[in-house]
Chain A
Amino acid sequence: MSEIRDDLLKTVDRIFDEHCQKSVRESAEAGEWPAALWQALEEVGVTRAALPEGAGGSGIEFEDAMFALRRSAYHAAPVPLAETMLAGRLLAAAGIAVPEGGLTVAPVQRNDQLKLAKEASGATVSGTAHRVPWGNLCAHAVVVGELDGIGVAGLISIVGAAGSVERNLAGEPRALLRFERAPLIAFAPLEGALSRLETEGALYRSVQMAGALERTLEYALLYANERVQFGRPIAKFQAIQHMLAVLAGHVAAASAAADAAVETSGIAPDEFGVSVGKSRIGEAAGKGAEIAHQVHGAMGYTREHNLHYSTRRLWSWRDEFGNESYWQTRLGRAVAAQGADALWPMLSRL
């Protein structure tokens, strides 16, 4: 591990240990903004860590920023860190100044389309965006769409704009945003803005799932060694050992796939790496969560044990920004179109 990575690990782990206790997670699920946690992350620059230095970044590598995101997911931190990083990178790529505070993005669902229009005073946005992550608690959103056939990213204030708020399985808010010729604070062309949002969103969810999977395995190993039945720790039963070995395989694959996707996405999200990552890690999420719960017995089925903070996130994130089928189909089409003989050169390019 590099020295920077090591320092970062200590810093973010300290913040999460201090500000991300159970009570914080619970009150966040009840709708309260975890102000102290967010402020601590802002103070050390983690919320701006994915930005290039010229755009107000903290001067750390993208890979290290993604590592911090992964740790936030390991700790099941109830904050829009991925969304803020994603919105910030879109703004930076479009050359728009990145505002302070928590940010989110819209639209995040394939069937939603926002209409951008130029008006005398600037540009406006109209339309409905469903399930905007943290859309009720962030001050700004980055909206993407097209203007005159060109991809555009715009910045908009969404204070008080949220309609109904749903929650994903992890209790994270997903808000309805309805815009009616709402004025953009700034806007600029961004090539392939919509697909960039989707692909980068999938990258961040992949990284988050890798972190949550690591925690899930850790919980399962701890529990297996602690829980005694028939006079010995259940870890001594071969059936349990084999389940955990399979879980470890999924966690290992998720970890490797997340690293690979991050590595190729330093400037802009890499279509191949992200397709592989979201597909493989999404599969690991479902299969891994299943095993972890089986190993925990009824205890894992309670609200008391912490396992659910990780597994409910896995069950949510695998379906956000495109589920496995979506990315697998996309990847499979690309592979088939190029033909069998192009596959190996593609796999072995790194």
Chain B
Amino acid sequence: MHEFRYDPVQLPASAQILRSDVRTFIAEEVASGAFTPSRNSWNTFDADFSRRCGERGYIGMRWPKQYGGHERSALERYVVTEELLAGGAPVGAHWVADRQSGHQILRYGSDRAKQTILPKIAAGVCFFSIGMSEPDSGSDLAAVRTRAIQVESGWKISGTKVWTSGAHRTNYLIALARTGPKEEDRHAGMTQFIVDLSHPGVTVRPIYNLYGGHDFNEVVFDEYFVPDDMILGGVGMGWKMVTGELAFERSGPDRFLSTYQLLLESIRAIGPDPDDRSANEIGRFVAHLATLRRMSTSVAGMLERGAQPIVEAALVKDVGTTFEREVPETFRHLIPTEPTLGEGGSYPELLGMTILRAPGFTIRGGTREILRGMIARGLGLR
């Protein structure tokens, strides 16, 4: 049986200095009117804000200085990201590049990719999307049909990606495409490509979401040319990299802080002297949150030590997203209000926006069911 464990971590003193640095930054930003925390989520796209994050050294924190990084530890990065999220900062523009794409390029990219792209990501001026899902390939990623055919000095990609968050505003995406025949091993023959969205042969069309927002897109490739040195990790390695990437994606504070602004505003609305029922629910959420943070920092500590806490990370996401979804469902009882369409400028709008975003929490980055299947595998059940 797999034993999962959440060893305690000690945050280094440097992390505490960074923490107050980020708090000062956020306070200044809010004071200057750059953003309003309750209006944001970690998907909120604000290129100017991301550039200022880059200037302060908050992006690419773990990467070598040679590529514009800051050679910080996983725990230092953890503290910066959790402070940005807790502060309601609009980190959506650089989030994916910082959390996963940059990391992949650093590990698997060509020299040219590393040299031309990473410094721009770290500077907060270059943004990424994820091109995995397709109309017929969601949870079953091995079913991708987007195909890349070898041509002179590169590959030509044709096919359609969907739900591609931010692709109408980002600079690049990493596309998973089929490069070999489907063999007995369904996971063979897939490759990841770095796609420059400003080049010809790729069209981005909006797919409006549940709340009428334009976050994700359909991305259509029509013989889009990718030079050989924009392949990640070699032909046929796509599957291995995609699954590795997801592990990184799973255990961060973004997996339990998606409804934190609603929690805060609800506590504010209930006031300093809550009745028993409200106090009870607030206390319950705080207990969950404190525990999740402990689990999540512990996973960051394990990643730092080079461990592969796959089950631990998956558990953080499953428990964390379950918690996120309970927050609006509980406070709507405690603060009777009619949720309202809008941008989160008032409590009814914040509640409304959270309710409409909530279904995505347990779908994006691998559905709850897929995640539970992975946990079960880790527990030795399949």
Contact = CB atoms under 8 A, between A and B. Distances in A.
A238 B375 CA distance: 12
Contacts of B83: 348
B294 A259 contact: yes
Interface residues of B, number: 56
A218 B369 CA distance: 22
Interface in A294-350: 324-325, 327-333, 335-337, 339-341, 343-344, 347-348, 350
A241 B287 contact: no
B82 A348 contact: yes
Contacts of B273: 336-337
B271 A257 contact: no
B223 interface: no
B381 interface: yes
Interface in B262-301: 263-265, 267-268, 270-274, 276, 278-284, 286-295, 298
Q: Which of A240, A324, A344 has the most CB atoms of chain B within a 10 A radius of its CB?
A: A344
Nearest to B281: A332
A337 B287 CA distance: 16
Contacts, number: 168
Chain B interface, >50% SS class: helix
B279 A242 contact: no
A347 B282 contact: no
Nearest to B293: A347
B15 to A, nearest CB: 10
Contacts of A339: 267-268, 272
A248 B381 CA distance: 12
Given A260-B290, A332-B274, A336-B274, A344 B283 contact: no
B381 A328 contact: no
A244 B292 contact: no
A14 interface: no
B294 A256 contact: yes
B382 interface: yes
A44 interface: no
Interface of B: 1, 4-6, 8, 11, 19, 82-83, 86-87, 263-265, 267-268, 270-274, 276, 278-284, 286-295, 298, 311-312, 315, 318-319, 322, 369, 371-373, 375-376, 379-382
20 contacts: A238-B373, A241-B372, A241-B376, A245-B379, A252-B315, A252-B319, A257-B287, A257-B294, A276-B287, A277-B287, A324-B284, A325-B280, A329-B279, A331-B286, A332-B286, A335-B286, A336-B267, A336-B278, A343-B286, A344-B87
Interface of A: 218, 221-222, 224-225, 235-236, 238, 240-242, 244-246, 248-249, 252-253, 255-257, 259-260, 263, 272, 275-277, 279-280, 283, 324-325, 327-333, 335-337, 339-341, 343-344, 347-348, 350
